[in-house]
Amino acid sequence: MSDTALMSRLLEAAKLHVPFDGWSETTLQLAAQDAGIDPGLLELAGLVSIVAVVGLLVIVNSSLAALVGTGYAGLLTLVGVVSIPMPAVVLAGLVSVLATIGTRNGVFS
């Protein structure tokens, strides 16, 4: 099954749960169950998407990649797609901010 078909099945199943549970971890878990998608596969897809977003942004601007990547990881953690401990996400965000402050135009001096 293609990635597009998998995501379509997941979104279709989520439509039934969003009015009751919002865009939450519960909705995501119930939609995956309804669509017959292994929750482990869903988490793996979330982790891969974090790597893809950060990888793309590194090409554009490394400082931006650090900040946006951490924010995106935090968002996926809050929604329940990936199970990264939130203190680790916050710590990574602080390190990203400090690293960005320590650079000049994204280049360490």
CB proximity list for 39: less than 8 A, separation 6 or greater = 29, 32, 33
Residue 37 has pLDDT above 60, yes or no: yes
63 vs 21, 25, 58, 77, CA distance in Å?
A: 35, 30, 8, 21
pLDDT score for 2 = 66
Amino acid at the residue 101: I
pLDDT score for 27 = 83
In terms of DSSP bridges, do strands 107-108 and 103-104 run parallel, antiparallel, or are they unpaired? antiparallel
Residues across the chain: 109
Q: What is the pLDDT of residues 38-82, one digit of tens each?
A: 877 877 777 677 767 766 666 666 666 666 777 777 777 776 677
pLDDT score for 56 = 66
Report the candidate in 106, 97, 44 with the shortest Cα–Cα distance to residue 71.
97
